[in-house]
Amino acid sequence: MRRSQGLTAAALLGPATIFIAVGLLAPLAILFRYSLNSFVAQTKTMVEALTIQNYITFFTDPYYTGALGTTVKVALLVTVVCLVLGFPLAYVVARTQSRFKHLLIIAIVLPLFVGNSVRAAGWMVVFGNKGFFNASLMGLGILSKPIEIMFTENAVIIGIIAVNLPFMVLSLQSVIESIDRAVEEAAFSLGAPPLTMFRRVLWPLALPGILAGTILCFILAMNAYATPFLLGGPLFKMMAPVIYNEFTQKTNWPFGGAIAFILMAVTLSLTIAANALLRRRTAA
Amino acid sequence: MARLDIDRLVKRYGDFFAVKDVSLSVADGEFLVLLGPSGCGKTTTLRMVAGFIEPTAGEVKLGGSNVTLLPPWKRNAGMVFQSYALFPHLTVAQNVAFGLEMRKLPRAEVDKRVEEALALVRLAGFGARLPRQLSGGQQQRVALARALAIRPDVLLLDEPLSNLDAKLRQEVRVEIRELQKQLGLTTVMVTHDQEEALTMADRLVVMNEGTVHQVGTQRDLYERPADRFVAGFVGRTTFLSGTVANGRFRTDGGLDLAVAPSSTGGAPGKAALSLRPERLEIAPGPIAGLDNDLPGTVEFVSYLGAQIDIHVRLSPADRLVVQIANRGGFAPEVGQRVHVGWRASAGQVFRE
Ligand SMILES: Nc1ncnc2c1ncn2[C@@H]1O[C@H](COP(=O)(O)OP(=O)(O)OP(=O)(O)O)[C@@H](O)[C@H]1O
Ligand SMILES: [Mg+2]
């Protein structure tokens, strides 16, 4: 009996485990090994070595640390804005008794059907200096000079928020839906005004969804590629485009590997730290 | 505690009236039960008192002051929900303390009142548990303690016992009622369980389709139902349909019956005669000394232990249920010819 249960568990976990081992851990291990190699720029070849020079280069060059700083800043901002915008939306979707609830959910998911790069390209058309938005306003005489929207940090932040918001809303909505409406009413009847009710009842009960949503949103933002690349312009640097550049343009695999590992480590540690902080704040 | 007055309350959804023109008064310390079939507007009425639903028209007055437009957190109403609605992330003690903390009482006072409230519902020592570590009955008592701890002006209960098993329900009924008397709580409870309503209430309100049909004590509702709906809803009864004329009731099946003179005034017309099964007598032969005595045939017998229900056909269109106590005496069988009799005062006529 015990034995067959163990076998069933192994059979259930097996395929996923093998997939993760072959598809994720093995490449990561190889990449990590590469990141300790050195690179000869003239011949564009990787030389077998065991050095942390790539990591040192990253942290001593303001170009790269700047990219990391921008990435973290943008990701944090995007995550906070997604939470603030997403919670009320998720709440309404979760609590609505309308017959059109499924349409609401489809409307939220719909943007995901358009790939990030297609969407970013669309934004370029609308918000460029000669794009639809500026051209119309200038044509109407409302503006004399185009508003700089494209190729700014704000454009990237807005772009990533638009991409990530559905993930946040869906994570929150499913958790809020599982919270008994009567619990909120109980808090009201005991004298809690809406904000207090939110802080003492809804927030702690929705915390699993809040954590899932923020983690997902933060990781997606940290690794955003198409949006910063297309909307940020050539001078705007975030980590994913930089890594891509190292691998494809410079074919510098050791350095690209090092940056990838730094991005992963920073993402992971910030996620864990924020997670612990949120949990502790709520427990107190 | 305070008195509660509901004045011409209306709740309309689109062109559907969930509650139409309900007026009620609950005296200080009184236990009022709203009773009625599913969908008659009981919950809607209660939730308008609690402040969760905004009335389309009408007023709610608590302790004489108009609270109709106040949000729930500004009314001092304790509510016990059907699902209990305990805060799952808080311990029992924290649940009970919640309302007291909202009132910004000092910590020592909060702790003292939590203890008191838990002791009141016999859950002293359970304070550190989480709701999910309690049985349904215990959760129900925590919900009650939480509502009582804030010393509400009015206690509102929406089918508080419907999630308990039958035996526990009977115990908790008595417990809540005793607590309510001891503390002098002004209470409104909603239920569609008649027995529950009858055992707990000081007065009952019978509702149907959003309107109040009758307000009264158990005895009022049973002995003097205001209309045909109440007569049929409270307790058991058989209706014979027919017409009243000249102080008599003539059934559709052609029986000519004596009825109480008070109910036959006015012009002749269609009516229904309500006869409670336990007010009828049955015998193998003619029954002397009763206003009505009719021969019939037993069609169906259901044996319920302490009592026996006998369905008797009096005419092709008229059938009655007679209930007799099972004292080991006369017990007719299906097909047997019998006589059924009753006093005129036992029947009640409702004009249509
Ligand atoms: N939000 C709403 N929109 C439309 N109709 C509603 C709404 N809420 C309640 N109703 C209707 O109002 C009527 C009264 O509902 P209510 O919940 O008060 O009934 P109830 O007497 O408590 O019934 P039950 O015993 O089944 O709980 C029902 O017919 C219900 O369908
Ligand atoms: Mg109800």
Task: Kindly report the CATH number assigned to the domain that includes residue B139.
Answer: 3.40.50.300
Instruction: Give the distance (Å) from ligand 1 centre to CA of residue B127.
Output: 35
Same domain, B210 and B226: yes
Banded pLDDT at A265 (limits 50, 70, 90):
very high
- Residue nearest (by alpha carbon) to ligand 1 atom 14: B41
Asked whether the beta carbons of residue B102 and residue A205 sit closer than 8 angstroms, the reply is: no
- Residue nearest (by alpha carbon) to ligand 1 atom 1: B13
Mean pLDDT confidence for B316-322? 93
Task: Kindly identify which residue of chain A lies nearest to residue B99, measuring between CA atoms.
Answer: A190
Same domain, B40 and B165: yes
Banded pLDDT at B268 (limits 50, 70, 90):
confident
Residues 6 or more apart from B237 whose CB is under 8 A from it?
B231, B274, B275, B276, B277
Residues of A at the B interface (Cβ-Cβ below 8 Å)? 180, 182-183, 185-193, 196-197, 200-201, 204-205
Task: Kindly identify which residue of chain A lies nearest to residue B88, measuring between CA atoms.
Answer: A205
Q: Considering chain A, what is the average pLDDT of its residues?
A: 88
Measured CA to CA, the distance from residue B192 to residue B208 in angstroms comes to: 11
Q: Which of B42, B83, B158, B211 to mutate to test the pocket of ligand 1 (most atoms within 8 A of CB)?
A: B42
- Could you read off the pLDDT of B26-79 as tens digits, one per residue? 999 999 999 999 999 999 999 999 999 999 999 999 998 999 999 999 999 999
Mean pLDDT confidence for A167-195? 95
* Residue A62: inside a domain: yes
Banded pLDDT at A275 (limits 50, 70, 90):
confident
Give the pLDDT of residue A20.
82
Same domain, B103 and B165: yes
Mean pLDDT confidence for B97-103? 96
Give the pLDDT of residue B238.
94
- Could you read off the pLDDT of B154-193 as tens digits, one per residue? 999 999 888 888 888 888 899 899 999 999 999 999 998 8
Banded pLDDT at A151 (limits 50, 70, 90):
confident
- Could you read off the pLDDT of B153-163 as tens digits, one per residue? 999 999 988 88
- Considering its fold, how many domains does chain B have in total? 2
Same domain, B39 and B171: yes
Task: Kindly identify which residue of chain A lies nearest to residue B149, measuring between CA atoms.
Answer: A190
Same domain, B136 and B36: yes
Number of Cβ within 10 Å of residue B122's Cβ equals 12
Helix residue ranges, H only, B123-275: 136-149, 166-183, 194-200, 218-223, 228-233
Same domain, B241 and B198: no
Mean pLDDT confidence for B98-126? 94
Q: Which of B212, B230, B248 is the last residue of a domain?
A: B230
User: Phi first, then psi: what are they for A136, rounded to 5°?
Assistant: -65, -50
Reading across the β-sheet that carries B347-351, which strands appear in turn? Answer: B256-258, B248-251, B238-245, B269-275, B347-351
Measured CA to CA, the distance from residue A27 to residue A21 in angstroms comes to: 9
Banded pLDDT at B95 (limits 50, 70, 90):
very high
Which CATH number is A73's domain given? 1.10.3720.10
Give the pLDDT of residue B139.
95
- Could you read off the pLDDT of A41-92 as tens digits, one per residue? 888 888 888 889 999 999 999 999 999 999 999 999 999 999 999 999 999 9
Nearest CA to B95 among B118, B122, B125? B118
Q: What is the dihedral of CA B274, B275, B276, B282, to 10 degrees?
A: -170
pLDDT at B5 over 70: yes
Reading across the β-sheet that carries B281-283, which strands appear in turn? Answer: B281-283, B337-342, B292-303, B307-315, B318-325
Asked whether the beta carbons of residue B102 and residue A192 sit closer than 8 angstroms, the reply is: yes
Give the pLDDT of residue B214.
96
Number of Cβ within 10 Å of residue A195's Cβ equals 8
* Residue A46: inside a domain: no
Cβ-Cβ contacts under 8 Å, A183 against chain B: 85-88
Same domain, B186 and B220: yes
* Residue A145: inside a domain: yes
Domain hosting residue A85, numbered range: 51-283
- Could you read off the pLDDT of A91-134 as tens digits, one per residue? 999 998 888 888 888 888 888 888 777 888 888 887 777 778 78
Domain hosting residue B16, numbered range: 4-230
Give the pLDDT of residue A5.
75
Asked whether the beta carbons of residue B78 and residue A189 sit closer than 8 angstroms, the reply is: yes
Give the residues surrounding ligand 1 with Cβ less than 6 Å away: B 13, 16, 18, 36, 38-44, 192
pLDDT at B347 over 80: yes
- Residue nearest (by alpha carbon) to ligand 1 atom 19: B39
Give the pLDDT of residue A49.
86
Same domain, B150 and B179: yes
Give the pLDDT of residue B264.
64
Q: Which of B11, B16, B161 to mutate to test the pocket of ligand 1 (most atoms within 8 A of CB)?
A: B16
Give the pLDDT of residue A101.
86
Ligand 2 is a single-atom ion; what residues have CB below 5 A from it? B 43
User: How would you classify the pairing of strands B154-158 and B77-80?
Assistant: parallel
Which CATH number is B249's domain given? 2.40.50.100
- Residue nearest (by alpha carbon) to ligand 1 atom 5: B13
Give the pLDDT of residue B255.
92
Q: Which of B202, B230, B258 is the last residue of a domain?
A: B230
- Could you read off the pLDDT of B287-316 as tens digits, one per residue? 888 999 999 999 999 998 889 999 999 999
The total number of residues shown for chain A amounts to: 284
Closest-CA distance of chain A to residue B97, Å = 10
Mutate which of B80, B89, B156 to disrupt the A interface (most A C-beta within 10 Å)? B89
- Considering its fold, how many domains does chain A have in total? 1
Same domain, B145 and B219: yes
The rounded percent of chain A whose pLDDT value lies above 90 is 45
DSSP classification of residue B159:
S
Same domain, B38 and B69: yes
Q: Which of B206, B230, B254 is the last residue of a domain?
A: B230
Residues 6 or more apart from A27 whose CB is under 8 A from it?
none
DSSP-assigned letters across all residues of A42-71: TTTEEE-----HHHHHHHH-HHHHHHHHHH
Cβ-Cβ contacts under 8 Å, A190 against chain B: 73, 98-99, 102, 146-147, 150
Task: Supply the ipTM of this predicted assembly.
Answer: 0.87
Closest-CA distance of chain A to residue B99, Å = 5
Measured CA to CA, the distance from residue B62 to residue B135 in angstroms comes to: 34
Same domain, B156 and B277: no
Same domain, B224 and B248: no
User: Phi first, then psi: what are they for B87, rounded to 5°?
Assistant: -75, 110
- Could you read off the pLDDT of B279-293 as tens digits, one per residue? 999 999 998 889 999
